[in-house]
Amino acid sequence: MTLTLEEAKKLEIGQILYHTINKNADGSSQRWRVTGKVKRWKRAPERIKVPIKTGLYNNSYLTEDDLHLLSKKCIY
């Protein structure tokens, strides 16, 4: 069950997402935390950009191209 564009537009700060491919050392799914507001474009409603954090130091952005890699529910 991957993340849809509509679900991604409703993400809030502090919400936890789970990576469907990357695993931790114990075999559980990597946790990615939303760290900022979802950026949307009026001229391109299919575009989004969400700041996320994973691990201790890794900060990045989630875009519409990466939605198939994430889920709202933990997948072991």
Query: For the chain, what is the domain count?
Result: 1
Mean pLDDT of 20-38: 92
Cα distance between residue 48 and residue 56, in whole Å? 24
Which residues form the domain of 59?
5-71
- Give the pTM: 0.86
CATH of residue 39: 2.30.30
pLDDT of 76 > 90? The answer is no
Could you tell me what percent of the chain has a pLDDT over 70? Answer: 97
CA–CA separation, 19 vs 10, rounded Å? 18
pLDDT given at position 73: 83
Whether residue 71 has pLDDT greater than 80: yes
Q: Is residue 29, in this structure, part of any structural domain at all? A: yes
**pLDDT grade, residue 35 (50/70/90)?**
very high
